[in-house]
Amino acid sequence: MKFSANLGFLWTDRPLPDAIRAAKAAGFDAVECHWPYAVPVADTRVALDETGLKMLGLNTNRGNTAIGENGLAALPGREADARAAIDEAVAYAVGLSTTSVHVMAGNTGGPRARRTFCDNLAYACDVAGDQVTILIEPLNPYNAPGYFLNSTEQAASIIREVGRPNLKLMFDFYHIQIIEGDVTRRFEALLPLIGHVQIASVPDRAAPDHGELDYAYVLPRVSKLGWDRPVGAEFVPEAGTLPDTSWLGRYSSF
């Protein structure tokens, strides 16, 4: 099994190009990130070319984080801002040959928000075309209180309603264990809709080698079901320490 380092949480003490180099040195097979936009595409590409790593994904901008915004795509009345963030993300992704963009919904709810989200996702899929997969991700209420997308059932319903082949589900085992549990059966049922997989320990969101989810069971099951793409390691290192990657060697054999 192959693994991708999520640089939104790992090696955040250094510029993105240096974090890419650190991921390569640690033994990761790919990288992904959250919001790379402060770094010119050319600088990021130099580090990717140097290391031979591929950037698998990035997120749309969250909006005004000073007032608690956590995405824009489901916010009625913010369509222009949401689509500008989509344009920005897809352009950055295309510049790096990145394969996916996570479109962040934001903190809202109700039928009007759903309609707004679906319309903006259709726009994102059309902008991305056959170059980029658009991802949506349910987030748990502890880390993202009030977030619009908060279950796999809701996400699957939206994917089917939008009806674009390049709209997929980001299946983050950490979030889904907290929201719903029954993760391996849920993964199997949703596999045709899944575009990317992420992991972290539960409940502390640290390295995926402890906690209430046994990845020594989960990951071989994921592999047996046919997942052959890198799994994103989106975990939070202990403060003041380098990311714990001692599990990489063990899990790579799955």
Per-residue pLDDT of 116-173, as tens digits, reads 999 999 999 999 999 999 999 999 999 999 999 999 999 999 999 999 999 999 999 9
Per-residue pLDDT of 215-226, as tens digits, reads 999 999 999 999
Please list the helix, strand and coil fractions of the chain in percent, rounded to the nearest 5, in that order. Answer: 40, 15, 45
Based on the structure, what is the number of domains in the chain? 1
The alpha carbon torsion through 61, 240, 142, 204 (nearest 10 deg) reads: 130
Residue 137 is among the residues annotated as catalytic for this protein: yes
If we measure between CA atoms, which residue out of 120, 124, 154 comes closest to residue 137? 154
Cα dihedral across residues 178, 179, 182, 183: positive or negative: negative
**Radius of gyration, CA atoms only, the chain:** 17
Q: Say yes or no to pLDDT of 84 above 90.
A: yes
pTM for this structure?
0.97
**For range 81-99, the mean pLDDT:** 98
pLDDT at 239: 87
Q: What is the CATH number of the domain that holds 146?
A: 3.20.20.150
Give the residue numbers spanning the domain of 13.
Answer: 3-251
Catalytic one of 50, 69, 79, 137: 137
Catalytic one of 153, 212, 234, 238: 234
Average confidence score pLDDT of the chain: 97
Enclosing H/E stretch for 101 = strand 100-102
